Amino acid sequence: MPSPMVDDAREIKEENPFESMMSRFDRAAQLLDLDPDLYAVMRVPNRELKVYIPVRMDSGRIQVFEGFRVQHNFARGPAKGGIRYAPDVTLDEVRALAAWMTWKCAVVNVPFGGAKGGIVCDPQQMSQGELERLTRRYTAELIDIIGPEKDVPAPDMNTNEQTMAWVMDTYSMHARHTVTAIVTGKPVELGGSAGRREATGRGLLFVINEAIKRFKMTPPQTRVVVQGAGNVGGTAARLLYEAGYKVVAISDIHGGIYNPNGLNIPDALEYLRQTRSFEDYPEAEQVTNQELLELDCDVLAPCATENQITSHNADRLKCKVLAEGANGPTTAAADSILHEKGVFVIPDILANAGGVTVSYFEWVQDRMGYFWREDVVNQRLQEVMVASFNDVCRYAERHKVDTRTAAYMLAIDRVAYDTRMRGFYA
Ligand SMILES: NC(=O)C1=CN([C@@H]2O[C@H](COP(=O)(O)OP(=O)(O)OC[C@H]3O[C@@H](n4cnc5c(N)ncnc54)[C@H](O)[C@@H]3O)[C@@H](O)[C@H]2O)C=CC1
Ligand SMILES: O=C(O)CCC(=O)C(=O)O
């Protein structure tokens, strides 16, 4: 038996998202034989900002929250990435998420770099007024480093269209005119794009459609398990259900439900909306999030948070396809286990890139002042997702590497090319 201390040390390292991101980056950089100077530039973030945000709570007292914005890379354009509100956000997590944005934007070839923001808070315990004051003050603290040509925030876990409307309004107050292109994921009525709300889940559907073709399967033959029922998981489950897939399980943070014959997803999501939990949902077995990941299925779509598939449970997965809707749901230590098992991985930086792709469309529409129909947005999203899926698969075949390594290599290659051409590291 390993001593608990040794085991704990390994666990802490394995579950640090920044370590997971860096170990994949290093492997891809090595396989690309990346120039050492470029490696030195690309392995670190461009800028990290830490802010302390005083907020007057409803009680009348001031509470000070810690917040971050990490701008990882600008080589391909303005930095881009969401803002996360959660009690356990750390700087290392935001660093990893910012880097993943750089690689993701490069995989789908949109002209952005990568950034991410986070505030350590528990939004479930805060009123709308407290959240609004927190968001406005955080935006004011970032005002010098964000902007349509600098860094364009978007929603992530526990933030939404309302949060983005507050960011846009605060930025616009400082600019003395309305600046819609400062954020994406806004309400459609305020310059948001049709289809952005569903874009990450829809993008996931498009790449799953491509992946099952490789197994000669059709949607009705394909059993899908979805972890998470928020913007990404809830939307993906609904769209997969509407496309004829058999969605056999879904969960939220408290646990999930399973029916091997398939769930009625719109009904289950409505139940969740009304009762705020899947508990006691009829005609389904209750499962924990750990049990859900190990269910017999064809496609497993972790769409909740990081570190769900680790060296401890990867060998117990039963899926053929792992479609990573969340950022970083799999630790680097689990990669080789999945590879040996022959699981076809659609890595996060490809699988969940539908969100930032439509965010790019939103930024373009805001700058044009001309808005596209939803079917046009969805059609263009499909083109990008299918082309990017094929790019990654071709790259994997040509270089004889797994799909995750291929996605990193493709992304790093593109960012390195632009960095070298600009010459700003010289
Ligand atoms: N919203 C977006 O457009 C994009 C989000 N992502 C990523 O997708 C993931 C989910 O984001 P959203 O759906 O936007 O967040 P959300 O806040 O709308 O939903 C998160 C869902 O995951 C569940 N959850 C949270 N912690 C959990 C845990 N420990 N175990 C099981 N379930 C848990 C929640 O109950 C909720 O159902 C995150 O990793 C995020 O970074 C990636 C690309 C774009
Ligand atoms: O839409 C965006 O700009 C970024 C969404 C996001 O945070 C992500 O893809 O992880």
Distance CA 172, CA 149 (A): 15
Q: Which ligand is nearest to the CA of 256?
A: 1
Give yes or no for residue 13 having a pLDDT over 90: no
pLDDT over 70 percentage in the chain: 96
Q: Which pLDDT does position 38 carry in this prediction? A: 94
Atom 1 of ligand 2, nearest CA residue: 356
Instruction: List the helix and strand counts (H, then E) for the chain.
Output: 15, 12
Give yes or no for residue 242 having a pLDDT over 90: yes
Ligand 1: centre distance to CA 174 (Å): 31
- Alpha-carbon distance values, 29 to 61, 169, 283, 333, 357 (Å): 50, 41, 49, 18, 25
Pairing of β 255-258 and β 285-287: antiparallel
Whether 233 lines ligand 1, by a CB cut-off of 6 Å, is yes
What's the average model confidence in pLDDT over 360-367?
A: 98
What's the average model confidence in pLDDT over 369-393?
A: 98
Atom of ligand 2 nearest to the CA of 97: 10
Q: What tens digit of pLDDT does each residue of 306-344 get?
A: 999 999 999 999 999 999 999 999 999 999 999 999 999
What mean pLDDT is reported for the chain? 96
Query: Which residues, in sequence order, are bridge partners of residue 250?
Result: 226, 257
Q: Which pLDDT does position 424 carry in this prediction? A: 63
Q: What is the reported pTM?
A: 0.96
What ranges do the domains of the chain cover? Answer: 45-193, 197-351
Let me know if 217 is exposed, middle or buried by CB neighbors in 10 A (0-12, 13-18, 19+): middle
Q: What is the 3-state secondary structure (H, E, C) of 129-149?
A: HHHHHHHHHHHHHHCCCCECC
Give yes or no for residue 263 having a pLDDT over 70: yes
Atom 18 of ligand 1, nearest CA residue: 230
Atom 27 of ligand 1, nearest CA residue: 253
Contact 309, 281 (CB under 8 A): no
pLDDT category of residue 425 using cuts at 50, 70 and 90: low
Q: Which pLDDT does position 124 carry in this prediction? A: 96
Atom 44 of ligand 1, nearest CA residue: 355
Q: What tens digit of pLDDT does each residue of 394-422 get?
A: 999 999 999 999 999 999 999 999 999 99
Whether 357 lines ligand 2, by a CB cut-off of 6 Å, is no
Contact 72, 45 (CB under 8 A): yes
What's the average model confidence in pLDDT over 277-282?
A: 98
Atom of ligand 1 nearest to the CA of 348: 42
Ligand 2: centre distance to CA 93 (Å): 14
* Fold topology of 197-351: Rossmann fold (3.40.50)
Q: Which pLDDT does position 141 carry in this prediction? A: 98
191 torsion bin: left (phi>0), alpha (psi -120 to 50), beta (else): left
Same topology for domains 45-193 and 197-351, yes or no? yes
What's the average model confidence in pLDDT over 124-138?
A: 98
- Alpha-carbon distance values, 249 to 178, 221, 296, 358 (Å): 43, 15, 10, 27
Question: H-type helices in 33-108, by residue range?
Answer: 36-42, 91-107
ipTM > 0.85? yes
Catalytic residues: 116
Q: Which pLDDT does position 5 carry in this prediction? A: 36
* Fold topology of 45-193: Rossmann fold (3.40.50)
Which mutation among 94, 253, 271 tests ligand 1's pocket best, with the greatest number of atoms within 8 A of CB?
253
Q: What tens digit of pLDDT does each residue of 41-97 get?
A: 999 999 999 999 999 999 999 999 999 999 999 999 999 999 999 999 999 999 999
pLDDT category of residue 12 using cuts at 50, 70 and 90: low
Give yes or no for residue 121 having a pLDDT over 50: yes
